[in-house]
Amino acid sequence: MSENPNLLHVTDNDFDQQILKSAVPVLVDFWAAWCGPCRTVGPVVEELAGEYAGKVKVAKMNVDENKATPGKYGIRGIPTLILFKDGQVVDQIVGAVPKSRIKDLLNKVA
């Protein structure tokens, strides 16, 4: 995975600070290394991090390394993309979807 300066990697420990207290909307990609659809969506999420830089923060959370936050948000399938604004869930997508579908989600807040 390339190091994208527009992409955050969050953990259970910094989720509240980085996501819920963010001044701008945040898209969080809940994923795992063994998940095939996650590997499909991952590069798209990275692209969007660059395209929406300054408007929407984009973060990734590995569900295998962080159990509390996915549990709190009822993540049952991955990839799950959740859009947060002002600490609240705006919308979410479960599964591998086309880039256009993710852009539609981001355009609700961007």
* 4 band by pLDDT with thresholds 50, 70 and 90: confident
- Is 38 in the active site? yes
pLDDT (tens digit, 9 = 90+) per residue, 46-91?
A: 999 999 999 999 999 999 999 999 999 999 999 999 999 999 999 9
* Domains, the chain: 7-106 (3.40.30.10)
pLDDT above 90 covers a percentage of the chain that reads 95
- Is 35 in the active site? yes
Among residues 28, 35, 56, 59, which one is catalytic?
35
- Do strands 80-85 and 26-31 pair parallel, antiparallel, or not at all (unpaired)? antiparallel
Alpha helices (H) along 1-107: 15, 36-51, 68-72, 99-106
Among residues 7, 38, 93, 102, which one is catalytic?
38
Cβ partners under 8 Å of residue 68, min gap 6: 12
Peptide linkage before 98 cis (omega within 30 of 0): no
* 1 band by pLDDT with thresholds 50, 70 and 90: very low
